[in-house]
Copies of this chain bind each other. A is one copy, B any other.
Amino acid sequence: MARVAGVSRSTASYALSGKRTISPEVRLKVAEAVASLGYTPNAGARALATSQTKVIALLAQFLDDEFAPAMLQYILGVTNTARQLGYDTLLVSEGDGAAALQRISSSRMVDGFVLLNVAQDDERLGVLQSASQPGALVGLPGETGDFDIFDLDFVATGRLMVERMSELGHRELILVSQPEHVVERGGAYVWRLANAASERAEELGVTLHHYFGSASQPEIGRDLNAFLDAHPDATGLLLNNEAAAAALPNVLNMRGISSPGDLSVIGRYSDDFARTFSLPYSAIDSAADELGRRAVEHLVARIEAAADLAVEPLIELIPPTIQDRGSTAAPQPR
C-alpha cells in the first residue's frame, strides 16, 4: 500500500493512525491508495506490533435447563456494544470454561473477557485472576475479589416483590423459584431472592410459602397446581422461574381463575421473554441486554485505561423495576 501511495511504510502508517502531522498531499495520496486497494491493516500483524487485538471473548455457558432466549439477549447486548466501541467478539461456548479461558488468555487472542452466568463458586475465576487481560463478570459470585461485577440486585428484587404485594393488602403469598439443582450448581441468585423475600415478608407480617419448581413443561404445570392447592388462601404469586411464568396462563385457565381478580402475580423475567410468550404478568425485568452492555463498557474502559490511573473494582447491582402489566390488585374479599 505504501508503495502504491509512493510514500514510506511509516508515513503510510502514521497517515492512517493520525498519530503525527501529515502534509495534505501525502494524506490524499495515502487515502487514494487505501481506497483503490481496499486496504485494511492485517489484524495479526497489528496485534503483534501493538499487543492489542481489538477483540474481546464472551464466555457463555449453555446449561441444559437455562432458558435459551435469555442467553441470546446477553449475547446481543455484548456483541453490539463491543462493536460500537471498536471491538469484535469471540464467542466461546465450550463446556470447560476454565480451560477455554486459560487457552485464549495465554495465546493472547483477546484484550479482555466477559464471563456470563457466573456461579457462586465459579472455577473460571481463578484462571481469570491470573490472566493478563481484564475481565467483567455478569452474575455475582460468592467471593467478589477485585473483579468488575454486573448483576440484577436480587436481594432488592425479592424485597420489592413482597413489598408491592403487601402494599396492596396481600397477607399470604407463594414464591416459586428455579429448581433446587440450579442452586446446587451455584445459582446463588435463587437463594438471594428467596431469602430477601422471606425476611421482608416476616418484617411486614406476611406469610410466604417458598417452593422450588421444575424448569420445564409439563412438570412445572403440575407443580403450580400443587402449590395453589396447598395454599387455597394465598392471594399472591411470585415467580422466579421462567418456565413457571410460561405455564401459568394455562394453569389459571384450567383452574377457572383469573389474574389479578383471583390471584395477583409478579414475575421476574426479561421483557423479551414476556413478548415471546405474550405473558400478561407484571414482572421485574432481568435486564439481560443492559447487563451485557454495562459489562462491555466497563471492560473496554479498563482495557483502554492508562496503566497509571487504576480503575477501581466495580460491583454494579441493577435496581429492580416492575414492568406493570396489570396483573396485581388488592385481594378480593371472600
Measuring CB to CB, which residues of chain A are less than 8 angstroms from any residue of chain B? 38-48, 53, 55, 58, 62, 67-69, 71-72, 75-76, 79-80, 83, 88-94, 102-104, 106-109, 216-218, 246, 253, 272, 275-278
* Known contacts A79-B92, A88-B104, A218-B278; 5 further A-B pairs (Cβ under 8 A): A44-B44, A48-B48, A68-B276, A75-B75, A83-B94
Q: Which residues of B contact A109 (CB under 8 A)?
A: 43-44, 55, 88
Q: Which residues of B contact A83 (CB under 8 A)?
A: 93-94
CA distance A53 to B102 in the complex (A): 18
How many of these chains are in the complex? 2
Known contacts A48-B44, A53-B44, A218-B278: A68-B72 contact under CB 8 Å: yes
Give me the 10 closest cross-chain CB pairs, A-B, nearest first.
A44-B47, A217-B278, A40-B106, A91-B91, A43-B107, A44-B48, A43-B109, A40-B107, A79-B93, A44-B44
Q: Which residues of B contact A275 (CB under 8 A)?
A: 216
Tell whether, in the assembled complex, residue B76 and residue A42 are in contact, meaning their CB atoms are under 8 Å apart. Answer: no
Closest residue of B by beta carbon distance from A69: B68
Instruction: Give the Cβ gap from A128 to chain B, nearest Cβ, in Å.
Output: 14
Tell whether, in the assembled complex, residue B108 and residue A93 are in contact, meaning their CB atoms are under 8 Å apart. Answer: no
Q: Which residues of B contact A106 (CB under 8 A)?
A: 38-40
Q: Which residues of B contact A80 (CB under 8 A)?
A: 93
Closest residue of B by beta carbon distance from A130: B38
A-B contacts, 23 of them at CB < 8 A, read: A38-B102, A40-B106, A40-B107, A41-B107, A42-B48, A43-B44, A43-B107, A43-B109, A44-B45, A44-B108, A45-B48, A75-B93, A79-B91, A80-B93, A89-B90, A89-B91, A89-B92, A216-B275, A216-B278, A217-B277, A217-B278, A218-B278, A246-B277
